Amino acid sequence: MAIKTGISGWFSWLPFGQVPSITAAYAVRDLQQYQLIDVRTRQEFNKSHIPGAISIPLHNLKNNRINELPTDKPILCICLSAHRSKPATRKLIKAGFNAMELKGGMLAWWKLNLPLEN
């Protein structure tokens, strides 16, 4: 995949705007139906993460890592507050994946006291 240059490529990395999303309350009903991608830093991930999530920090979400992702499940991008997950979701959608973000990120997950691993 070619890297997009210019203003439109730059805008895709902004943490604003809309991308497909689901709430924590909805996602927790059947986590196995998603490939969970946590785009926070490795340190954040190691403190606590959603069971089954894999860590791919946003700055490492490059073509070689994207090409390793399964295509048989929708991808749910997770970050702390749904700012880093927006550009990650956009990048995955552009690469042809069915991707969405966890609305409100880990802050929403923690607020509902949902399952965690560390």
| Distances in whole angstroms, Cα of residue 35 to Cα of each of 5, 17, 19, 32 | 29, 23, 17, 7
Give the length of the chain: 118
Is residue 77 annotated as a catalytic residue, yes or no? no
The DSSP secondary-structure symbol of 60 reads: G
Q: Which of 56, 75, 79, 80 is catalytic?
A: 79
In angstroms, the CA 77 to CA 92 distance is 9
Residue numbers annotated as active site: 79
